[in-house]
């Protein structure tokens, strides 16, 4: 694995320092139940005012090749498309339940 703990040639992966969970400036620590969650923030976005909303979008942009690869792998398996379709159908139905409950009451 390359230095910095990340693979790929994304915008945010051109760092030279390693991930340090004890660095409170770059890492946000949250305990959720029994889980310890460490969120790393890019220091470039913390120094520029008004750019905190940009960091999640840049991370999504860097993750697009992995999403594309996953979709290619899923397209080779026939049974996955059926399960994915059922998942989307159930998710959409679940999202409609609050609206239907307000409409029917």
pLDDT in tens, 18-71: 777 787 777 888 899 899 888 877 666 667 777 777 778 888 898 999 999 988
Q: Give how many domains the chain has, as a whole number.
A: 1
Residue 94 has pLDDT above 90, yes or no: yes
Assess if residue 68 is contained within a domain: yes
Could you tell me if residue 5 is inside a domain? no
Q: Which of these, 2, 1, 5, lies nearest to 27 by C-alpha position?
A: 5
Which residue is associated with the tokens 């940009």?
54
DSSP secondary structure of the chain? --TTS--S--GGG---SPP-TT-TTTEEEEEETTEEEEEE--HHHHHSTT-TTHHHHHHHHHHHHHHHHHHHHHHT-HHHHHHHHHHHHHHHHHHHHHHHHHHH-
Is there a domain that residue 2 lies in?
Answer: no
In this predicted structure, the answer to whether residue 91 has a pLDDT above a threshold of 90 is: yes
For residue 72, the enclosing domain spans 11-104
Tell me, what's the pLDDT at 46? 64
Specify the higher pLDDT residue, 80 or 8.
80
Residue 64 lies in a domain: yes
| 103/93 Cα distance (integer angstroms) | 15
In sign, the C-alpha dihedral spanning 71, 75, 80, 86 is: positive
Which pLDDT does position 7 carry in this prediction? 52
Q: Does any domain span residue 6?
A: no
Query: pTM, whole model, 2 decimals?
Result: 0.44
């Amino acid at each position: 694995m390359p230095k910095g703990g990340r693979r790929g040639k994304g915008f945010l992966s051109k760092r030279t320092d390693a991930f340090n969970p004890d660095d409170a400036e770059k890492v946000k620590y949250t305990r959720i139940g029994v889980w310890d969650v460490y969120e790393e923030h890019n220091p470039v976005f913390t120094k520029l005012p008004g750019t905190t909303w940009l960091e999640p979008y840049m991370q999504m942009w860097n993750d697009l090749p992995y999403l594309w690869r996953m979709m290619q792998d899923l397209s080779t398996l026939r049974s996955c498309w059926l399960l994915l379709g059922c998942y989307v159908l159930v998710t959409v139905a679940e999202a409609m339940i609050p609206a239907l409950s307000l409409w029917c009451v």
